[in-house]
Amino acid sequence: MASSRDIRNKIKSVKNTQKITRAMEMVAASKMRKAQDRMKKARPYGEKIRNVAAHMSKASVEYRHPFLANRETVNRVGVIVVTSDKGLCGGLNTNVLRRVLNEARGWQNNGKQIEACCIGNKGLGFMGRAGVSVISQITGLGDAPNMEKLIGAVKVVLDAYTENRLDRVYIFYNRFVNTMKQEPVMEQLLPLTDKLIKGDGVESKVLRSPWDYIYEPEAKPVIDDIMVRYIEALVYQAVAENMASEQSARMVAMKAASDNAGNLIDELTLIYNKTRQAAITKELSEIVGGAAAV
């Protein structure tokens, strides 16, 4: 049996761990609220730009953007993997990376090549180990998704797509369902599916006949800009969701860890008291035995 001092030390160390996990839980809880706010605030942009894209798809535009054209043969697949930078958030990253791995295996079996764009440290490390070629990456985003930082990484993927080095692009991230539940999802980014360019159904009644926009300065650059921004908005939204998921997953994980530490402390305290009791009993009986012998 362990000595009472050993047990006391053990209890102390578990208590220290519990302090840390509890602090992390509280930090995550406060960050979670902010992350959720940001996620909600990012929604209108996505909605509006989708409406614009929907309008555009109805207009008799003379220029059709490559993002909208479906490609028959798919040889190379691009994946944008959104993960967190830090760990200690339960199975969040593992879930999304497992999803990626499953899909990637399927593609590889069909002889498709895969290239990845990694947003977040965990995904980058994983893709590096899995031997997937990473064409762009961004890590260290902090607590707020930053459009400025995302642009570069996304542009590499978009350029690869326009230059036909990629035929399809998917994005993987954790969708925030609620505080207790986040689900890993895969969405097709390119070519844009009908689902992604379906507007809210608000249509101008005046303009039933074929119509087109007035473009300033020209159709092509303006449409290009809109399309790029649309994809960026989708990625931004995914990152915002993933960040909210990360904080809530961390909060839940840290709460579980604190609870477990509490249980462990209870058990250890029980053992500690038992050994203490046993030591006292032993001492007493020795004294009594000694007195009887005298």
Partner 1 sequence: MGTVFHLDIVSAEESIYSGPAEFIVAPALMGEVGIYPQHTPMLTRIKSGMVRVKAPLKDNEEVYVSGGMLEVQPDVVTILADTAVRGKDLDEAKALEAKQRAEEAMKNKLSEIEYARAQAELIEATAQLAAIQQLRKRGH
**Residue nearer to partner 1 on the CB measure, 242 or 275:** 242
Distance, in Å, from the CA atom of 181 to the CA atom of 183, rounded to the nearest integer, reads: 7
Between CA 195 and CA 207, with CA 201 as vertex, the angle to 5 degrees is 120
| Smallest gap from residue 125 Cβ to partner 1 (A) | 8
Q: How far is the CB of 60 from partner 1 (least distance, A)?
A: 11
**113-119 and 76-82 beta bridge pairing:** parallel
Nearer to partner 1, 90 or 145 (CB): 145
CB of 57 to partner 1, least distance (A): 13
Q: What is the contact surface with partner 1 in residues (CB under 8 A)?
A: 38, 41-42, 44-45, 48-49, 51-52, 55-56, 59, 117-118, 124-125, 128-129, 133-139, 147-148, 151-153, 155-156, 159, 202, 204, 206-207, 211-217, 221-223, 225-226, 229, 232-233, 236
Q: Which is nearer to partner 1, 51 or 95 (CB)?
A: 51
Q: Where are the extended beta strands (E) located within 87-132?
A: 113-119
> Residue 244: left if φ>0, alpha if ψ -120 to 50, beta else—which one?
alpha
Q: How many residues does the chain have?
A: 294
Pick between residue 48 and residue 181 the one whose CB is nearest to partner 1. Answer: 48
The CA–CA distances, whole Å, from 272 to 4, 195, 261, 282 equal 6, 62, 16, 15
- Beta strands 181-190 and 168-178: pairing type? antiparallel
- Of 109 and 204, nearer to partner 1 (C-beta) is 204
Distance CA(153)–CA(178), nearest Å, equals 28
| Beta carbon of residue 63, minimum distance to partner 1 (angstroms, whole number) | 12
Q: How far is the CB of 42 from partner 1 (least distance, A)?
A: 6
Measured from the CB atom, the residue of 142 and 289 that comes closer to partner 1 is 142
From CA 190, how far away is CA 180, in angstroms rounded? 31
Q: How many CA atoms lie within 13 A of 5 on its CB side?
A: 0
Q: How far is the CB of 136 from partner 1 (least distance, A)?
A: 4
